[in-house]
């Protein structure tokens, strides 16, 4: 079954992939034929190796090992008695004699909140923070990537390397100067600081990723559009954008998960107030100032995971395709 | 392409539905759990001196979050209701890490509660902290001892009034277990060693349990132990010299204190009850280390007054005749009573009239009593204007009694006063090695001395 699932999408992709190739056959049938055959052989060999029963066994073992801690956390989140969690392992709860110990108490406490905090406020904050923080860098990075890929200008290579080099600047270094600027601009204590910060920190990778993907679009396609009289704007919206959907979706998942799970940027720029702080901040506070309510953390973690999980499952298809798209093409 | 866009829309829709569902649950609970505003009906005569502050607002930044933070917000309510002031409260456990950056960026709150005098000194060094207004200085002189005033001062100028306090020289035990086996609360350090030997000889369980693990702050619990031992074995005077580096960290007095501590914590038949051997102390989370007392696996655990909250979370009966209680960690000479403790200090970064008024309120007995009334446990103060019976938890009353005891000599947690490279780095790490590698006392002291900044 695993084998069928791995092979399935690859087969389906075959006809779709030859389509752009058909268009370019007039100008380069010889150049295209060689690499493609070699690629086909390589793909076949990879498929043979990866779908062998030994490989499947290893994959299943790794998968199980990988999921065990998460599963343990899930079981723990349903254990009602604090004493039990403290003194025995989570697997004890799975024994039929202990099934009576399961309860939804911790979830109840997490959702209803402790102290004055209301989880819903933080949940809304997380959504308000995350959506623009994903959309802004994608929008800007698409424009930048288009310029780098299809508009030749002096110094574009140096500029591109410079942008990617920004990747190595640690966030921590930028924090105090950036916060100073926000205070000067009067943006402090608003969602703008979070949107802008996440956009800035996400842009280098976004531009790099989208640029590389955009470069893969056959030049002939763009040139044909130009011959037909399309300007940059038309080319961008009618030709490039539809082809970019997998790449955009895969970066969107990256950025979404990073922003949703972020605690550092949110606390450093926004502060830990119910007006701005995301759900991760609430989660880290839930255990109390001195960690005396640590037993709530397991349930809290699962509540905060629901949204990223939903997003990931819904966009997973693009994610895999988007990642492969950058790497496999010769 | 249309189909895939549809998918995206569906995904986004799913997210919104989920969010809506959670939002709905949350709102219901908020309505059910409300009703905390009744405190605001108290009479306003005590607050008339602060005048009318309606339309003004003050921002406050502390390390207290969740229910602890909520009790602070609750304690501000009568003042806010009577004066019309809006108090914007922010609590964050990362205060110690980010407050200096916020000061530098100009994004700091009007009033900040510093949990360590060392951090306050660093903040004062930026030049942004304002010395306390006259009314606050007057309150500090009236309601706190000179040593507390001293910990809030830098270079002789008072920059911050004390706020809360905790007592660290406590040993938790189970009164019911003590009665059962006929043990008595020791009055001197030697009594404590005898009691320890007796419990070990009786063989019910090992006497002591301990744990110093706390993520990237692992080791601080052990530094408290050392400080308590230095206070007892070398004396408060040597303690002050040690903290200010007037004697070296590897001075024989300090090494002897470490050896005194090893008599308990490095004796395999005394530790680590209900958990493991000596080495297990390094890996046991401090939050879990005392709870074996409740299971009868352990008899004694040295930890601060705020640990009462952890026992309360286990639904234990905390009280003099209950399952769990604490006694003062005795000194070798019953006539001297050194107390190790900690506390927070409130400094202001603005001098608007409403900030001054609120700062004065925080240093007044009115606030201390208000805070005591709305806190379930785990908080006390050294403000002698506090009425003891207002503290709800018996442990807090015990801690307040010790702080208010005129014969007691209070000393602030030394690792919070030492330079950060020692107090929250080398000291922590070497004490972790003291357990994890059973490193000799002299080597531990030498290594910490080597880390002390040269000046």
Tell me whether residues B107 and A111 touch, CB distance under 8 A: no
Region A162-187: mean pLDDT is: 89
In the predicted model, is pLDDT for residue B419 greater than 50? yes
Instruction: Give residue A13's pLDDT band: very low, low, confident or very high (50, 70, 90).
Output: very low
In the predicted model, is pLDDT for residue B181 greater than 80? yes
Region B230-245: mean pLDDT is: 93
Region A157-169: mean pLDDT is: 88
Q: Would you state the pLDDT for residue A243? A: 87
Q: Which residue has the higher pLDDT, B51 or A330?
A: B51
Percentage, residues of chain B above pLDDT 90: 69
Q: Would you state the pLDDT for residue A36? A: 66
Q: Which residue has the higher pLDDT, A5 or B401?
A: B401
Region A254-281: mean pLDDT is: 90
Q: Would you state the pLDDT for residue A297? A: 87
- Taking the alpha carbons at both ends of chain B, their separation in whole angstroms is 69
- Domains in chain B and their CATH numbers? 45-167+342-406 (3.40.190.10), 170-340+413-451 (3.40.190.10)
Alpha helices (H) along chain A: 2-50, 53-77, 82-87, 105-112, 119-150, 156-165, 171-185, 191-215, 219-227, 232-234, 241-243, 245-261, 264-265, 279-286, 297-328
Instruction: Give residue B18's pLDDT band: very low, low, confident or very high (50, 70, 90).
Output: very low
The Cα–Cα gap between B149 and A290 comes to: 26
Chain B residues in contact with A111 (beta carbon < 8 A): 22, 25-26, 29
Percentage, residues of chain A above pLDDT 70: 84
Q: Does A111 touch chain B (CB under 8 A)?
A: yes
Helices (H) and strands (E) in chain B, counts: 20, 11
Work out the minimum CA distance from A17 to partner chain B, whole angstroms: 15
Choose the closest CB to B98 out of A121, A183, A268: A268
Choose the closest CB to A115 out of B8, B27, B66: B66
Q: What is the pLDDT of residues A100-127, one digit of tens each?
A: 888 888 888 888 766 666 788 888 999 9
Q: What is the pLDDT of residues B261-274, one digit of tens each?
A: 999 999 999 998 88
Choose the closest CB to B106 out of A115, A180, A289: A180
Chain A residues in contact with B101 (beta carbon < 8 A): 175-176, 179, 268
Chain B residues in contact with A116 (beta carbon < 8 A): 36, 69-70, 73
Q: Would you state the pLDDT for residue A116? A: 63
Q: Would you state the pLDDT for residue A303? A: 87
Q: Would you state the pLDDT for residue A330? A: 39
Instruction: Give residue B388's pLDDT band: very low, low, confident or very high (50, 70, 90).
Output: very high
Chain B residues in contact with A173 (beta carbon < 8 A): none
Q: Would you state the pLDDT for residue B350? A: 95
Highest mean pLDDT, choosing among A26-30, A169-173, A192-196, A268-272: A192-196
Tell me whether residues B107 and A179 touch, CB distance under 8 A: yes
Choose the closest CB to B66 out of A117, A124, A303: A117
Q: Does A140 touch chain B (CB under 8 A)?
A: no
Q: Would you state the pLDDT for residue A169? A: 84
Region B323-348: mean pLDDT is: 92
Choose the closest CB to B66 out of A249, A289, A317: A289
The number of beta carbons lying within 10 Å of the beta carbon of residue A103 is 12
Tell me whether residues B22 and A127 touch, CB distance under 8 A: no
Instruction: Give residue B408's pLDDT band: very low, low, confident or very high (50, 70, 90).
Output: confident
The sign one gets for the Cα dihedral B275, B277, B278, B283 is negative
Tell me whether residues A289 and B65 touch, CB distance under 8 A: yes
Q: Which residue has the higher pLDDT, B360 or A323?
A: B360
Percentage, residues of chain B above pLDDT 70: 91
Using a 10 angstrom Cβ sphere, with 0-12 exposed, 13-18 middle and 19 or more buried, the burial of residue A242 is: exposed
Residue with tokens 């008599």: B263
For the residues of A158-217, what is the DSSP string, one character each?
Answer: HHHHHHHHGGGS-HHHHHHHHHHHHHHHT-TTSHHHHHHHHHHHHHHHHHHHHHHHHHTS
Q: Would you state the pLDDT for residue B452? A: 93
- Categorise residue B277: left if φ over 0, alpha if ψ from -120 to 50, beta otherwise: beta
Tell me whether residues A245 and B4 touch, CB distance under 8 A: yes
Q: Would you state the pLDDT for residue B3? A: 43
**Average model confidence (pLDDT) across chain A:** 82
Q: Would you state the pLDDT for residue A42? A: 80
- B428-443 CB burial, b ≥16 within 10 A, e <16: bbbbbbbbbeeeebee
Between the CA of residue B205 and those of B175, B177, B184, B279, B300, what are the distances in Å?
A: 16, 12, 17, 18, 11
The number of beta carbons lying within 10 Å of the beta carbon of residue A26 is 8
Q: Does A120 touch chain B (CB under 8 A)?
A: yes
In the predicted model, is pLDDT for residue A162 greater than 50? yes
Chain B residues in contact with A317 (beta carbon < 8 A): 7
**Average model confidence (pLDDT) across chain B:** 87
Judge contact between A304 and A283, C-beta under 8 A: yes
Region B97-115: mean pLDDT is: 93
Chain B residues in contact with A80 (beta carbon < 8 A): none
In the predicted model, is pLDDT for residue B20 greater than 60? no
Q: Does A114 touch chain B (CB under 8 A)?
A: yes
- Structure tokens of A262? 């972020």
Q: Does A141 touch chain B (CB under 8 A)?
A: no
Tell me whether residues A183 and B70 touch, CB distance under 8 A: no
- Domains in chain A and their CATH numbers? 2-14+31-106 (no CATH), 112-328 (1.10.3720.10)
Percentage, residues of chain A above pLDDT 90: 32
Region A174-184: mean pLDDT is: 92
Region A246-261: mean pLDDT is: 90
Choose the closest CB to B25 out of A111, A287, A315: A111
């Amino acid at each position: 079954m695993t084998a069928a699932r791995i092979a399935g999408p690859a087969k389906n992709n075959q006809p779709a992939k030859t389509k752009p190739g058909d268009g370019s056959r007039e100008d380069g049938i010889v150049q295209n034929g060689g690499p493609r055959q070699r690629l086909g052989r390589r793909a076949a060999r990879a498929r043979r190796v990866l779908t062998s029963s030994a490989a499947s066994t290893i994959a299943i073992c790794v998968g199980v090992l990988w999921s065990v801690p998460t599963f343990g956390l899930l079981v723990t989140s349903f254990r009602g008695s604090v004493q039990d969690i403290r003194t025995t392992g989570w697997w004890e709860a799975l024994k039929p004699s202990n099934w009576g110990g399961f309860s939804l108490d911790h979830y109840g406490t997490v959702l209803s909140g402790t102290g004055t905090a209301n989880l819903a406020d933080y949940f809304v904050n997380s959504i308000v923070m995350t959506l623009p923080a994903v959309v802004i860098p994608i929008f800007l990075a698409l424009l930048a990537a288009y310029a780098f890929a299809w508009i030749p200008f002096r110094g574009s290579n140096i500029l591109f390397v410079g942008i990617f080099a920004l990747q190595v600047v640690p966030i921590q270094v930028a924090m105090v100067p950036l916060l100073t600027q926000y205070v000067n601009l009067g943006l402090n204590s608003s969602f703008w600081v979070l949107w802008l910060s996440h956009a800035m920190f996400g842009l280098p990778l976004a531009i790099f990723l989208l640029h590389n993907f955009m470069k893969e679009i056959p030049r002939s396609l763009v040139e044909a559009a130009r011959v037909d009289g399309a300007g940059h704007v038309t080319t961008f919206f009618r030709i490039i954008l539809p082809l970019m959907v997998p790449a955009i979706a895969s970066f969107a998942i990256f950025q979404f998960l990073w922003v949703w799970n972020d605690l550092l940027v949110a606390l450093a720029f926004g502060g830990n107030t119910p007006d701005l702080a995301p759900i991760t901040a609430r989660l880290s506070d839930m255990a109390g100032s001195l960690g005396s309510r640590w037993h709530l953390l397991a349930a809290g973690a699962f509540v905060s995971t629901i949204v990223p999980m939903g997003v990931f499952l819904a966009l997973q298809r693009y994610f895999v395709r988007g990642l492969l798209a950058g790497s496999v093409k010769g | 392409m249309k189909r895939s866009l549809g998918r995206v829309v569906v995904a986004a829709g799913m997210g919104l539905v989920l969010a809506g569902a959670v939002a709905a649950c949350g709102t219901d609970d908020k309505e059910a759990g409300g009703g905390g505003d009744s405190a605001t009906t108290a009479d306003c005569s005590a607050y008339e001196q602060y005048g009318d502050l309606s339309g003004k607002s003050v921002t406050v930044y502390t390390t207290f979050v969740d229910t602890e933070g909520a009790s602070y917000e609750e304690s501000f309510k009568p003042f806010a209701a009577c004066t019309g002031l809006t108090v914007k409260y922010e609590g964050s456990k990362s205060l110690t890490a980010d407050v200096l950056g916020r000061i530098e960026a100009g994004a700091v709150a009007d009033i900040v509660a510093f949990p360590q005098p060392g951090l306050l000194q660093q903040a004062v060094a930026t030049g942004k902290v304002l010395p306390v207004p006259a009314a606050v200085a007057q309150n500090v002189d009236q309601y706190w001892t000179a040593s507390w005033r001293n910990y809030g001062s830098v270079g002789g100028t008072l920059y911050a009034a004390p706020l809360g306090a905790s007592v660290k020289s406590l040993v938790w035990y189970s009164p019911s277990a003590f009665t059962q086996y006929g043990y008595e609360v020791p009055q001197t350090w030697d009594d404590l060693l005898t009691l320890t030997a007796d419990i070990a000889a009786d063989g019910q369980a090992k006497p002591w349990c301990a744990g110093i693990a706390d993520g990237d702050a692992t080791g601080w619990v052990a530094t408290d132990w050392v400080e308590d031992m230095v206070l007892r074995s070398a004396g408060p005077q040597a303690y002050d010299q040690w903290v200010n580096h007037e004697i070296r960290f590897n001075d024989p007095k300090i090494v002897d204190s470490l050896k005194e501590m090893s008599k308990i914590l490095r004796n395999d038949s005394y530790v680590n009850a209900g958990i493991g051997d000596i080495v297990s102390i390094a890996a046991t989370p401090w939050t879990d280390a005392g709870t074996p007392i409740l299971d009868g696996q352990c008899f004694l655990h040295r930890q601060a007054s705020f640990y009462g909250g952890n026992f309360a979370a286990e639904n234990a009966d905390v009280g003099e005749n209950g399952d769990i209680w604490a006694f003062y960690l005795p000194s070798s000479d019953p006539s001297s009573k050194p107390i190790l403790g900690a506390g927070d200090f409130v400094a202001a970064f603005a001098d608007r009239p409403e900030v001054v008024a609120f700062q004065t309120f925080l240093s007044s007995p009115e606030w201390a009593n208000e805070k005591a009334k709305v806190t379930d446990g785990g908080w006390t103060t050294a403000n002698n204007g506090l009425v003891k019976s207002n503290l709800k938890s018996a442990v807090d009353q015990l801690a307040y009694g010790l702080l208010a005891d005129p014969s007691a000599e209070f000393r602030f947690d030394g690792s919070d006063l030492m330079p950060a490279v020692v107090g929250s780095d080398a000291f922590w790490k070497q004490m972790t090695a003291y357990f994890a590698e059973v490193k000799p006392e002299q080597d531990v002291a030498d290594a910490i001395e080597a880390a002390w900044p040269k000046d």
